[in-house]
Structure 1
């Protein structure tokens, strides 16, 4: 089935415009840093692993054959402070955080579990956890599991599938019994962007904590200074950005923190 002539003309016009935009896109040179998609197909799913960086296979081979293969046990010594070193580089380059506030560790599900448990421990007298129904399913499963494990009530607020979460809806859901509010900065379905400064204002007015999920380095100006940030998607490594006051939280999975020997 072919498009009508008018439709084909519109497609050709759109293609020409896309090529002009690509030609002056300052990020265009970065395309060559990633492995091309098979058969020239477009890859628009950025929520999980993303495209393979072209340098990764050689780097992995060097680590496996060199650091591990040639040095056995001694090869792991430089790895122990990698979470802090990578975190500091991310903090300086794109996150606007201070040295020591960012670590690269675990995956979203593990980090979200640890942060939610830590937040509940810090608000022991509170019985409710708030999440929205447009949050990543993986995140909602983790939060629901923590709430059930800790015998807390799970309060789910409705989010519009296109325009996102209404702040008045959130304000009505957060009261003095809420310990933690778990939301995503960017909707994984529609791309709707939350005003995280207002989210924090609403939560903090009632004494609740917010482990806010966001794309690492994206929309940083929307986040207030007292943030806990994780990049999205359930599979890849995450950057946990914590303020100094939160650093007093106990490591939930003993030995799994930065520099630990847990796996």
Structure 2
């Protein structure tokens, strides 16, 4: 016989009782009642806060429980749980349920925000085998995506500029003036010319000079680093020449 979808087992509606007063404190349902009660006790110290978990964490031993309804059809499990929850609440019992059946309780709904309610509703739908409906997101055209990227880049640069200005103001350092910047670039140009002459003297071969010129044009290297690199290269050439003379 072909294998099909397993038939859901009957559900039992239960209530966790207070060990002292034996009054119901929580109503739930499960197809495996003993395992479900054990899970309640084992997850009482979970990071996610629930009123029933906080109550169980205050106990020294697992609470007793009672079966309110047995052999409930699987499709009617939420209706049966909601019926018993509303009945006990009407009798004045202090229950710790966050939801009544498949719906969130009015007391909890009044103290939670809309995002939390949507999360619980989507969770209930997933447990029922259904997917929550979402509004389709409009597809952006390539031009719209490019404009959004340009706008995001502009906002990022503006934030970086404001942060830089705030850091300069906090440090007390005055920003360079136009005359200071002109003097600084003149010094960099002079040092760069000195490096070029030094490297040309090291190797007068034309391809090497062209490579040096290309290297000097790479952005990100300051004049001081170029001078240090030139001196290091000169020292390596002298060491190599001495080694060749010794070998000869």
TM-score (normalizing by structure 1): 0.19
TM-score (normalizing by structure 2): 0.20
